[in-house]
Amino acid sequence: MDYGVSDPAGGNPSPGQYRAIKILLAGGFGVGKTTLVGAVSEIRPLRTEEPLTEGSLRTDSTVGVEGKTTTTVAMDFGRISLRSDLVLYLFGTPGQQRFWFMWDELAIGALGAVVLADTRRLADSFPAIDYFERRQIPFIVALNCFDGARKYDREDVRLALDLEPGLPIVLCDARSKESAKQVLIALVEHVLVTASEEPLSGIA
Amino acid sequence: MPSNDERWLDAEAGPVVRPYALTQGRTRPAGESFDLVATVMATHVAIADPSALAPEHVSVLRLARAPTTVADIASDVDLPLGVVRIILADLRELGLVAIRTPVVMAERIDKHTLREVLNGLRGL
């Protein structure tokens, strides 16, 4: 596949013009990351085969696999062509601490992050929230409203997650393209507002 | 001592060593590091001896005929990112591809670009 050539807008942008923007999607296991990426973008397989670091050796049991020097991590990888020269890349990886070696790279230059949370297991989102707060990466929290899950008041969630007053918390249905799109829009709006000193009329 | 069988993970994880066999065991790419969404493009320099390139190197080179990214290539050739990075670094050393970190990676994404992203998303 030749992306530059097959893009609907045509043209063949030079590497300098091609703008690739990263958005991160974090959250606990089974919270709907894959579903959300698949709802809003062309989802594709992407895996890493990372050499085990000392850090991961401490947390990953290697008993019985002493010959193991690498670890496989599957990522959710989605691509949204906004224009032929402007493409969003969504990366979803597990939020657990032992995957932070990947986050460190993913986070460099990223537009921001979405922490996808399940109100039944809010604690699963603590590590991701801590991570983004500490590295000052702009993020929002999206509550995936599963069928049958009790609807929480957003301010209760803010309290439970100890989030700052201005930090957006959005409700979403990760299966819906429109809903997933609104989550990304909320993130970009939040980044614009935080990047701006003066209030942005018509955007916030 | 584990038996040979135990050196393999479950079926899903696959063999743990094989991918890096493609890189002669190297786990670090040569030269300057590059981002996951760094733009890759073939330089279209003539290859003196195409048979010297491994099939995986040829596949990666082919995907880079139009601007693409490291992550796109890894997904398309279905090889782990780490392996693709090493292959790309090899191709760069041979002068066959140019790898550029996107302008927006160098600094914070400017507001103009953010608005473009916002408008693009709204129009989806």
| pLDDT values of chain B reduced to their tens digit, one per residue, 124 residues | 445 555 555 555 554 445 667 777 777 777 777 888 999 999 988 887 778 889 999 999 999 999 899 999 999 998 888 899 999 999 999 999 999 876 655 567 889 999 999 999 999 9
Tell me B18's DSSP state: G
pTM: 0.79
Q: Which residues pair with A74 in a beta bridge?
A: A47
Residue with tokens 């590590």, as numbered in its chain: A127
Q: Which fold has domain A20-47+75-195?
A: Rossmann fold (3.40.50)
Nearest CA in chain A to B80: A48
Chains A & B: contacts with CB separation below 8 Å:
165
Chain A hits for B82, Cβ within 8 Å: 48-51, 70
What is the C-alpha to C-alpha distance for residues B84 and B123, in angstroms, rounded to an integer?
34
Residue A159 C-alpha, separation from nearest chain B C-alpha, in angstroms: 29
Q: Is the CB of residue B20 less than 8 Å away from at least one CB of chain A?
A: yes
Contact flag A108-B35 (C-beta cutoff 8 Å): yes
Residue B93 C-alpha, separation from nearest chain A C-alpha, in angstroms: 18
Domains in chain A: boundaries: 20-47+75-195
Nearest CA in chain A to B64: A2
Q: Which B-chain residues 25-44 have CB contacts (< 8 A) with chain A?
A: 27, 35-41
A19-27 and A86-94 as β-strands: parallel, antiparallel, unpaired? parallel
pLDDT in tens, B66-94: 989 999 999 999 888 889 999 999 999 99
Cβ proximity of A74 and A94 under 8 Å: no
Confidence of residue A12 (pLDDT cuts 50, 70, 90): very low
AA letter at B25:
G
For A49, the closest of B76, B82, B121 (CB atoms) is B82
Chain B hits for A197, Cβ within 8 Å: none
